[in-house]
């Protein structure tokens, strides 16, 4: 019989500890000067891949699938708030892809939690899936996105 292996815990941060040397400090109680070792601890993100989005989009466009082209169009046209502000008509005019394919793709992206529809022509993209910017900005937008999810759930309950 095989024993179950314990599930590995996914690490999202790691610490880098670096010895930077020694410094002299004054003990405030005794006035004594004490030489101490100094270390710096830097917390970093772990288990993330660096992705050069422009190159990935270029590669996906070469594949040629219309749904992939819509996805790359969305990723290329996000604003700094991680919003995609295009109507189906605008996407159709820019990409030349049929409205049915656009509608099917947008529905699939919503079902997979890649994005949420706020209203026609206004979508919030999940910052857990794609985000350009720093950690603090991403966290602010992630909170807004999660709030949008809970509001959407509440509206569905109210409709029932």
Task: Domains for the chain: give ranges and CATH numbers.
Answer: 65-159 (1.10.10.10)
pLDDT, mean of residues 57-65: 71
Pairwise CA distance, residues 95 & 66, whole Å: 9
For the chain, what percent of residues have pLDDT higher than 70?
76
Phi then psi for residue 21, to 5 deg, are 125, -155
Model-wide pTM > 0.85: no
Concatenated DSSP letters of 58-113:
HHHHHH--HHHHHHHHHHHTB-TTSEE---HHHHHHHH---HHHHHHHHHHHHHTT
Q: List, for residues 14-49, the tens digit of each pLDDT value.
A: 777 888 888 898 988 999 998 988 888 877 766 666
Helix (H) or strand (E) holding 38: strand 33-45
The pLDDT assigned to 152 comes to 63
pLDDT band at 104 (very low <50, low <70, confident <90, very high): very high
Nearest to 79 by CA among 117, 122, 139, 45: 122
């Amino acid at each position: 019989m095989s024993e179950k292996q314990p599930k590995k815990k996914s690490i999202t941060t790691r610490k880098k500890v670096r010895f930077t040397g020694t410094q002299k400090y004054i003990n405030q109680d005794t006035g004594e000067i004490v030489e101490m070792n100094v270390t710096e601890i830097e917390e970093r993100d772990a288990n993330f891949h660096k992705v050069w989005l422009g190159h990935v989009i270029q590669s996906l466009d070469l594949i040629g699938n219309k749904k992939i082209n819509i996805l790359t169009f969305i990723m290329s046209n996000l604003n700094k708030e991680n919003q995609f502000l295009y109507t189906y008509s605008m996407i159709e005019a820019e990409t030349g892809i049929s409205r049915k394919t656009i509608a099917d793709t947008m529905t699939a992206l919503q079902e997979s939690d890649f994005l949420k529809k706020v209203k026609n022509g206004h979508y919030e993209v999940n910052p857990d899936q794609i985000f350009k910017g720093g950690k603090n900005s991403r966290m602010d937008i992630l909170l807004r996105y999660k709030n949008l999810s809970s509001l959407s759930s509440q509206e569905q309950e109210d409709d029932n």
